[in-house]
Amino acid sequence: MKPKAQPKPAAKLKPSQPAKPAAAVPDGKDQAAPVKRPPAPRASGLTAVEMGARQREISVSEFFTKNRHLLGFDNPRKALLTCVKEAVDNALDACEEAGILPEVVVKVSVVPTGGTTPPLSQATRFKVTVVDYGPGIVREQIPRIFAKLLYGSKFHRLRMSRGQQGIGISAAGMYGQLTTGKPVQIISRTSEKTQAHYFEVQVNTKTNEPRILEKKQIDWENHRGTQVTIELEGRYQKGRASVDEYIELTAIANPHVKLHYHAPDGDVKVYSRIYDELPAPPREIKPHPYGIEFGIMLKMLHDTKSHWLSGFLAGDFSRVSPRVAEEICAKAELSLKMRPRDIVGHDAEKLYKAIQATKIMAPPTNCISPIGEKAILAGLYKQIKGDFYTAVTRSPAVYRGNPFIIEAGIAFGKGPQQAAPEVQKKPLAEGERHGDHEDELARVIRYANRVPLLYQQAACATYQAAVETAWRNYGVSQSKGAPPAGPMVVFIHMASVWVPFTSESKEAIADYDEIRKEIKLALQECGRRLGVFLKRKERAKSEFHRRNIFELYISEVADACKRLKGGKLAAEKLKTQLCKIAMSRTGGQKTDEILGHQGGPEGLPDSIIVTAEGVEGDVPVLAEEPAAPAPTSPEAPSPQTARPAVEPPQAAAPQLELPLPAPRRPSGSTRAAGKKGRPPAKKARPSMKAAKRRR
């Protein structure tokens, strides 16, 4: 029995009890009704028996069919995004867990309705296909993973992953089924030696059980991996909170992922891999006693395999040593050797209070795998044009007993190419001024466990922290109650075993004080570095400006002198002489250096500075191209890709020769082997540690 940190209803949905799915959310509502409501005094009143006849269980699928907005399917545009998001999250989770560098193909296309293909802006029916080259799924599990709500591997453990609940992909399938009547199509293959399985499944919403419409073995060009196809009603529109933005943001926070995106308008975008290391695999942990709620503790007491209370405390919680267990028992005035099952009522309350009153170490943090400063830098640098990048990974912290890590980053500036879009020059008349720069606000990009959050920005703790941070201290303008102004992207990531979302559709992070404080600290560190950069740039700029104005005025002065002398003056010579003086008086070469490439981000850890001349800092070299040199695999990475195969799925061939792990097995050995197999394999672990180094 695995420990649980979440409310009880979940337990009823364990895979071992497929036949009796309980209504997870409305649990209790129905039972309560007859007790509370007296027999109706009205004329049309019903008897308790009659009412009882109408009362029945609600399946979770039924519940979410009616409440699909809870899962992010409230409007067609959002539904399309949610569908892509759930499928991609699942694919990435699976690959990472199996120790495979993820490569994912996302294809969104318009489905003709009524025999004609409507223009993209009018299209209402889409087909979303997501292919990964991950571990694949064993045949027996396919139907349940894709057509049963609240089924999965992620809920019952305390470990960081994108998915948390086991609702996502099946809900997307259910939404598709609801709006188009089409089943979810799955192809999955676990190794080259086995056949690929093809399934068409639907959710039986009454029972929350999968209904298999078609299953067969097929030939599949991919050696390994999973392909999901969902047809659904949706709407495609670019811009904010679009599928395109989701893909772009995913690429930023997941630089170890290679993404192919086939947009419905025919565009194919490839987000190449810029970071050649998998994030360190997070470990599962036991719940921390501080985070536990009373009811959950009762349930754990009941379910434990330990015979003694001391064993239960030390064995089922993290950071409780036998000595701490003794301390707790002493405080609770309970015997160490009590049977956990016998602790009920008053004793349980005493125990709970004793736990909260005992000093216990913070939970372990190897259950969280932050993106890492280097990887964030790489991601920002690759996807966002700017002059300055920095990233901060905070030390782990705890809210409600759940460990979490906050990471933040900033990309500032417009990039050297776009820095000075020369506006058409025209002389200014008296009283006219140069147009001030448009006051654009910074864009805040938010992530939870590497998944971009696109909706409900204002309700999110990350955004609030960004607004509350005093950016003016760092030389960035900011009006009250607004994010900082300027050409700037603020990156905020929360990694945790359990991210407290404000709703099931996972759009905003709930505002816990501990979380917000950590975010602000991370942003402040980023801000300080940005301030240093801006100040340094300002200093060099003012030197440069000085020389610049001298140069500007030199020809005016020289020409005036020439006219004064009645034309009898070598004005050019005078200009040269004056320029020379200007140079010697304003720092000469040094200014060039400060402004230019030599400046380097010294004193600015984990930062990159980009100028017209070049880039300083630890720039992520696009390791990818040399990393996969020869297309060893004859196939193109994805069947859909029409374009010439740029490269095979990451090192597919060498890896395929190795025994592949079952999808959910701990993957350490495979990873090591896989790494060895890749040609220019970098030393993955040490540098990953380096990326995690704390200050």
Partner 1 sequence: MATMRPKTTGSVEKRLIGLADLVVQAAERGKDPTIDIPVRALSNVKFNESRGIIEMGGNRQARSFFNVGMAKKFMQTMLVADALSELQRAGLTTSLREIYYRAKHTIQDSHENTFDGQNESDPLIEDLEVTLAALREELHVRAENAGTVIGPLVVVDDGDRVDCAKLGKGGYSVPSIVEPEYLRIKSCTADFILLIEKGTQWNRLAEDKFWRKYNCILLTGNGQPPRGVRRLARRLHEEMRLPVYVLVDNDPWGYYIYSVVKQGSINLAFESQRMAIPKAKFMGLSSTDPEKYGLPRNVGIKLNEKDIDRAKEILNYQWFQKKEWQKEIRHMLSVGLKYELDALANKDFQFLTNKYLPRKLKDRDWLD
Binding site for partner 1 (CB under 8 A): 425, 427-428, 430, 434, 546, 549-550, 552-553, 555-558, 560-566, 569, 574, 577-578, 580-582, 584-585
- Give 48's Cβ-side CA count (13 Å radius): 9
H or E stretch at 607: strand 607-610
Single-letter code of the amino acid located at 563: R
H or E stretch at 232: strand 225-233
Nearer to partner 1, 357 or 581 (CB): 581
Nearer to partner 1, 528 or 546 (CB): 546
Minimum CB separation from partner 1 for residue 423, in Å? 9
Minimum CB separation from partner 1 for residue 475, in Å? 21
Minimum CB separation from partner 1 for residue 276, in Å? 47
C-alpha span between 143 and 198 (Å, rounded): 11
Beta bridge partners of 199: 186, 215
Minimum CB separation from partner 1 for residue 540, in Å? 15
Minimum CB separation from partner 1 for residue 485, in Å? 23
Nearer to partner 1, 115 or 427 (CB): 427
Nearer to partner 1, 305 or 563 (CB): 563
Helix axis angle for 345-357 and 322-332, nearest 10°, is 120
Nearer to partner 1, 411 or 578 (CB): 578
Minimum CB separation from partner 1 for residue 422, in Å? 11
Q: And the tokens for 212?
A: 């298999």
> E strands along 51-178, which residues?
103-110, 125-132
Nearer to partner 1, 27 or 559 (CB): 559
C-alpha span between 377 and 389 (Å, rounded): 7
Nearer to partner 1, 342 or 572 (CB): 572
Minimum CB separation from partner 1 for residue 573, in Å? 8
Residue linked to tokens 């995106």: 261
Nearer to partner 1, 294 or 553 (CB): 553
Residue 64 CA, distance from chain mean position: 24
Minimum CB separation from partner 1 for residue 561, in Å? 4
C-alpha span between 220 and 196 (Å, rounded): 6
C-alpha span between 271 and 254 (Å, rounded): 10
In the 3-class helix/strand/coil scheme, how is 167-211 assigned residue by residue?
CHHHHHHHHHHHHHCCCEEEEEECCCCCCEEEEEEEEECCCCEEE
C-alpha span between 39 and 654 (Å, rounded): 72
C-alpha span between 198 and 251 (Å, rounded): 29
C-alpha span between 446 and 356 (Å, rounded): 33
Nearer to partner 1, 38 or 566 (CB): 566
Minimum CB separation from partner 1 for residue 611, in Å? 22
Pick from 664, 662, 660: which is nearest to 673 by CA? Answer: 660
